[in-house]
Structure 1
Amino acid sequence: MAEGFGKKYLGDRFEVRSAGIEAHGLNPSAVKSMAKKGIDISKQTSDIIDPEVMHLAINVKALEPNLQFYKAFFGTEPTKVKENYAKFELNNPPLHFSMNVRPYENRGALNHLGFQVQGTEQVIAHKARLQAAGLVSLDEINTTCCYAVQDKIWVHDPEGNAWEIFYTKADSEFESAQAPQAGSICCAPSAPSELASVDSCCK
């Protein structure tokens, strides 16, 4: 809406764009409200300021005490909270930090790591780069993971740590595309050597 008003009243003197650390598309209600004011924002796009943002997800045994700790530690409120999940989106440094309620005796507290990019074409470009380097990726297009609809790829390091490169298309009311299994990593698939014996969500 601010971009619409800016373009209308500032004219060609400035280049006005909507941007943030996540792009979720246009709000239909905003389009209707602006149309009533004679301003068409139906062609606007929401662009990400930083093309790639570091993502780190950890497992926690209880959400609330960790939520209170990280609110104090980061000095900000989370951007998303569910009964078994919370996410912080930091601007400085650019980091998306999330917590998943999971038992982790066998796997450790690290859930998964990743980079968020600003479009599916960048996910595909990273896939080509990784394949050229000899790394095998697992593709998940239009999947539901961590309460969001995403296009992504996964790779694992030699220790079995999961890395994702993903584009968030929209929020979701559901945690994943399927019910998470006890002890699974949401939403990282198991390392190749474990695929036959360990279930995980978003696989």
Structure 2
Amino acid sequence: MKRMHMHLSVQNLERSIAFYSHLFGSEPTVRKDDYAKWMLDDPRVNFAISVHEGAKTGIEHVGLQVETEAELSEVYGRIHDAGQPFLEEGKTTCCYAKSEKGWVADPDGVLWEAFLTTGEATVYGDRTQAVKAIEACFDATTPQEEGGPTKADRAPQTPCCG
């Protein structure tokens, strides 16, 4: 069964944890100095927040979390069928979890993650490496879709993948 995922960048983690704990009626299932995550069943969402120096607040990315390799393969197939460039990151550590994942940006540049979590990790992971990999997938002239905006046309913080 798949689960919707949303990750927000926040300015004040404690204030945000208090707000979302009230909103969801539960405490985070994972809580670190720079990160918190709620694994909600109603609605079925993996909702995460984090603080990163210099990061813009708001939606960092959205995604689909799967529970099996077969589901991940199915989602990857749908992404490929959608015709958007796709970055298969493979096995990685992110958000205090070991995962296998891939990235795609929708036609408007909203970053989507498709991932299978395989275990816990004691570190957040190298966020800058992932962001650089995603942004490097397009050069300044590569359109994201036929007739779509190029990396040069986008705001500097808008991620691309390919």
Distance across 1 between alignment mates of 2:101 and 2:41: 22
Instruction: Give the fraction of aligned pairs with identical amino acids, expressed as a percent.
Output: 33
Distance across 1 between alignment mates of 2:58 and 2:26: 22
Pick from 102, 121, 134 the counterpart of residue 153 of structure 1.
102
Pick from 10, 14, 18 the counterpart of residue 68 of structure 1.
18
Runs of 4+ in 1 over 2 A off after TM superposition: 102-105, 184-194
Pick from 112, 131, 135 the counterpart of residue 61 of structure 2.
112
Structure with bigger gyration radius:
1
| Cα shift at 1:189 | 3.4
| Cα shift at 1:109 | 0.7
Counterpart AA for 1:150: S
| CA RMSD across the alignment | 2.6
SS at match of 2:42: coil
Distance across 2 between alignment mates of 1:110 and 1:157: 14
| 8 A contact 1:79–1:88 mirrored in 2 | yes
The normalised TM-score by structure 2 is 0.76
Residue aligning to 2:124: 175
| 8 A contact 1:111–1:186 mirrored in 2 | no
Unaligned runs of 5+ in 1: 1-50
Aligned length: 141
Unaligned runs of 5+ in 2: 139-150
Residue aligning to 2:85: 136
Residue aligning to 1:77: 27
Higher relative contact order (CA 8 A, sep 6+): 2
| 8 A contact 2:84–2:107 mirrored in 1 | no
| CA deviation profile, 1:10-69 (whole Å, cap 9, x unmatched) | xxxxxxxxxxxxxxxxxxxxxxxxxxxxxxxxxxxxxxxxx1011111110110011111
Pick from 166, 170, 174 the counterpart of residue 115 of structure 2.
166
| 8 A contact 2:84–2:106 mirrored in 1 | no
The normalised TM-score by structure 1 is 0.62
| Structure 2 residue 134 is matched with structure 1 residue 189 | yes
| 8 A contact 1:145–1:186 mirrored in 2 | no
User: Quick check: which one's strand share is greater?
Assistant: 2
Residue aligning to 1:54: 4
Distance across 2 between alignment mates of 1:167 and 1:137: 16
